Every structure is written in structure tokens, then in C-alpha cells.
């Protein structure tokens, strides 16, 4: 399928950065990335830094994302964050179903789907993560796992909501390990995901939905990964915590 999609590159800071460190990082990114229009750039700091980071991004080409949210609109859910709270800080994107949330917090496809619906109800754009473990890949189960996760995690989304959803393919075996999928492996998995979206909706939706790659993205592999026809951006972990590495990923990606 011919690309009709603008790159989207998001930095997932995970449980890193104090508020002061977050402010320093964003100031550096604003300077280095001013004027970049070839990609949508998103930073996803911890909840504690959303307020100060949002102030810095008001006059910039960077967008703000959150790392998680509750499926509930509010109420007696200790320790949770509702969509309306994120909206207060001009959050536009929210990562849902990250492999660490699935592995460490028991999040299921059904829960991720409820969160995605709640995000859309609040006009947030979900970045829905899917991906197989090393054991699943070695057993030849990659496509079966991806089909289960994609169909389950996107269940109930309308065609219009799907067009405002980003999918992040994150092979779990390539997160934080220094081992990344080859461009061909990423392309194969993401082409499969796009075919699934075509079956679930239609080919027009599938052509327009953006699918990121997330798994040890570095400046050295960003250009080749983003050159693949079904790779529409990156969900970057550790390399998004430093100005130079994140900027280099973005600049190499848009030079594809």
C-alpha cells in the first residue's frame, strides 16, 4: 500500500525525570526541533511533569502525551488518572497497553479496548501497543499473538475512531535489550497488522492508520526502519531521554 501517512515519533520517558529534568529536556528539544514539520513529535513524560511540560509546549511544534490512563471517567479509583485530568494539561495522545503495563500490571486486551474508547470519548488519541515476546516469536506465534491483541485491543472502535488511533508494534524481545527487529522483521509484522485493519474496517482505513515501530530505536537504525512502507514512525524509549539521541532519531527518520 502506498503511504498516505505523516510520521509520528513519540518519546516514552517511562519512570524517568524529575520535573526540573523534564523541563531541561523539553527546552533542549524545542531548540533543536523548531520548524520540523515532516513528523508529528510527541513527548510522554511522567504524570508529575505534565503540568510544567505542557506550559513549555504551548508555543512549540511538539505535542504532549501521557503514558497511561484509566478506563473510568472519574470516581473512587485510588491512584488512577482520568482522561479529563489529562485534558487539563493539553495532553493530546495517550499510550495504552504498553508491554510493561501488560506484563507487570496484568492489563488485558479487553481493558486496553475500554481505555481506548475512554480516550476517544475525551478526544484523546490513543497509541495502542501490541507485540510478541521472544518465546512467542520462537514458537512461530507472532501473527497469532498480533491478531489476538489487535482485534481485542481495538474492539468497539468505530471507523472514525480508528482513523484517530495510532498502533505501536513493539516486539517485547526488543525493548530495553539493545536487540532490535531488523527493518524487514518490522515491515513484515506491521504489514500484517495493516492487513488486519483492512479486514476489520476497510482498505481506506488501513492505508491511513499510522503504525509505529517501538523496540530499541536508535539514531543508527531510525532511517532504515522509517523507510519501510508500513512503518509510520517510532515509539522511542531510552533514546528519548537525551536531547541529542532523540533529535537524531527524528532527523534521520525524516531524511528517509
Residue tagged 493530546 (cell numbers)? 92
Grid cell, residue 197, equals 485493519
Phi (first) and psi of residue 9, to 5 degrees: -120, 120
Between strands 125-130 and 166-169, the pairing is: parallel
Report the residue count for the chain: 256
Cα-Cα end-to-end distance for the chain: 17
Active-site annotation holds for 107: no
Active-site annotation holds for 16: no
Closest CA to 212 of 126, 110, 140: 126
Q: Annotated catalytic residue: which of 16, 32, 98, 143?
A: 98
Q: Annotated catalytic residue: which of 71, 100, 132, 170?
A: 170
Burial class (CB in 10 A: 0-12, 13-18, 19+), 190: buried
Would you please indicate which residues are annotated as catalytic (active-site) residues?
Answer: 98, 170
Amino acid at each position: 500500500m502506498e503511504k498516505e501517512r505523516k510520521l509520528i515519533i513519540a518519546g516514552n520517558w517511562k519512570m524517568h525525570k524529575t520535573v526540573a529534568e523534564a523541563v531541561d529536556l523539553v527546552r533542549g528539544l524545542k531548540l533543536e526541533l523548531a520548524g520540523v514539520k515532516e513528523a508529528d513529535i510527541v513527548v510522554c513524560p511522567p504524570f508529575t511533569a505534565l503540568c510544567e511540560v505542557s506550559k513549555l509546549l504551548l508555543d512549540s511544534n511538539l505535542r504532549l502525551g501521557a503514558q497511561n490512563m484509566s478506563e473510568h471517567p472519574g470516581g473512587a479509583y485510588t491512584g488512577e488518572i482520568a482522561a479529563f485530568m489529562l485534558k487539563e494539561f493539553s495532553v493530546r495522545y495517550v499510550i495504552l497497553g504498553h508491554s510493561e503495563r501488560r506484563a507487570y500490571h496484568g492489563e488485558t486486551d479487553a481493558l486496553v479496548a475500554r481505555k481506548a474508547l475512554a480516550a476517544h470519548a475525551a478526544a484523546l488519541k490513543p497509541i495502542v501497543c501490541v507485540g510478541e515476546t521472544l518465546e512467542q516469536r520462537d514458537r512461530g506465534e507472532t501473527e497469532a499473538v498480533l491478531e489476538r491483541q489487535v482485534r481485542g485491543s481495538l474492539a468497539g472502535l468505530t471507523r472514525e475512531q480508528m482513523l484517530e488511533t495510532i498502533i505501536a508494534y513493539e516486539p517485547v524481545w526488543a525493548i530495553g535489550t539493545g536487540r532490535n527487529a531488523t527493518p524487514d522483521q518490522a515491515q513484515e509484522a506491521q504489514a500484517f497488522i495493516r492487513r488486519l485493519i483492512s479486514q476489520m474496517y476497510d482498505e481506506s482505513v488501513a492505508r491511513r492508520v499510522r503504525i509505529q515501530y517501538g523496540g530499541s530505536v536508535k539514531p543508527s537504525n531510525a532511517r532504515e526502519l522509517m523507510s519501510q512502507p508500513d512503518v509510520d514512525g517510532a515509539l522511542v524509549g531510552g533514546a528519548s531521554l537525551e536531547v541529542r539521541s532523540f533529535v537524531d532519531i527524528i532527523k534521520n527518520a525524516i531524511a528517509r
